[in-house]
Structure 1
Amino acid sequence: MHQTPQPVRLTAGDAELTVRPDAGCGISSLRVGGTELLRQGPRYGSFVMVPWCGRTENGRFRNGGVTHQLPVNAAPHAIHGTGRDGSWTRSTHGDGTASFFHDLTDPWPYAGRVTQVFELTEDELRITMGVETAEESFPAQAGWHPWFLRNLGQGGQDAVIDFTPGWQEERGDNHLPTGHRIDPEPGPWDDCFGMPDGVDVALTWPGELRVRVTSPAEWLVVYDEQPEAICVEPQSGPPNGLNTLPRLVTLIDPLEITTVWAWERLG
Structure 2
Amino acid sequence: MTTQETTLTAGDAEVTVAPGNGCRVSSLKIAGTELLRQGERYGCFPMAPWCGRIRDGRFLDGGQLHQMPLNSPPHAIHGFARDHEWTTAHATSTEASFTYDLTDPWPYRGRVTQTVALTEDSLSLSLGIETAKDSFPAQLGWHPWFNRNLGGDSEDVTLDFAPAWQEERGDDHLPTGHRIDPKPGPWDDCFGMPEGVDVTLTWPGRLSLNVTSREKWAVVYDEQEAAVCVEPQTGPPNGLNTTPRLVTMVDPLEAGATWTWRRL
**Superposition TM-score tier, normalisation by shorter sequence:** over 0.9
Counterpart pick for 1:146 among 144, 147, 152: 144
Aligned to 2:234: 236
Gapped runs of 5+ residues in structure 2? Answer: none
Letter in 1 for 2:200: A
Q: What is the correspondence of 1:43-62 to structure 2 with a 5 Å cutoff? A: 43-62=41-60
Aligned to 1:174: 172
- For 2:257 and 2:2, how far apart are their aligned partners in 1? 28
Letter in 1 for 2:90: T
The reply to whether residue 82 of structure 1 matches residue 80 of structure 2 is yes
Question: Helix, strand or coil: the match of 1:22?
Answer: helix
The reply to whether residue 189 of structure 1 matches residue 187 of structure 2 is yes
Letter in 2 for 1:96: T
Deviations 1:133-161 (CA, angstroms, capped at 9, x unpaired): 00000000000000000100132110010
Question: Helix, strand or coil: the match of 2:145?
Answer: strand
Aligned to 1:123: 121
- For 1:66 and 1:178, how far apart are their aligned partners in 2? 23
- For 1:141 and 1:44, how far apart are their aligned partners in 2? 20
Question: Helix, strand or coil: the match of 1:239?
Answer: coil
Counterpart pick for 2:100 among 93, 99, 102: 102
- For 1:126 and 1:155, how far apart are their aligned partners in 2? 30
Aligned to 2:3: 5
Letter in 1 for 2:254: E
Q: 1:113 Cα shift?
A: 0.3
- For 1:59 and 1:213, how far apart are their aligned partners in 2? 29
- For 1:127 and 1:4, how far apart are their aligned partners in 2? 20
Gapped runs of 5+ residues in structure 1? Answer: none
- For 1:16 and 1:109, how far apart are their aligned partners in 2? 37
- For 1:235 and 1:101, how far apart are their aligned partners in 2? 19
Letter in 2 for 1:112: G
CA RMSD of aligned residues (A): 0.9
Aligned CA distance change for structure 1 residues 218 and 185 (closer, same or farther; 3 Å): same
Aligned to 2:91: 93
Question: Helix, strand or coil: the match of 2:259?
Answer: strand
- For 2:69 and 2:109, how far apart are their aligned partners in 1? 17
Aligned to 1:39: 37
Question: Helix, strand or coil: the match of 1:173?
Answer: coil
Q: TM-score, normalised by structure 2?
A: 0.99
- For 1:220 and 1:195, how far apart are their aligned partners in 2? 8
Letter in 1 for 2:36: L
Q: 1:107 Cα shift?
A: 1.2
Letter in 1 for 2:155: Q
Deviations 1:158-184 (CA, angstroms, capped at 9, x unpaired): 001000000000000010000000000
Counterpart pick for 2:210 among 189, 212, 216: 212
- For 2:152 and 2:209, how far apart are their aligned partners in 1? 16
- For 2:8 and 2:153, how far apart are their aligned partners in 1? 27
Aligned to 1:248: 246
Question: Helix, strand or coil: the match of 1:253?
Answer: coil
Deviations 1:16-56 (CA, angstroms, capped at 9, x unpaired): 00000001100110000000000001111111110000000
Q: 1:4 Cα shift?
A: 7.3
- For 2:115 and 2:212, how far apart are their aligned partners in 1? 16
Question: Helix, strand or coil: the match of 1:29?
Answer: strand
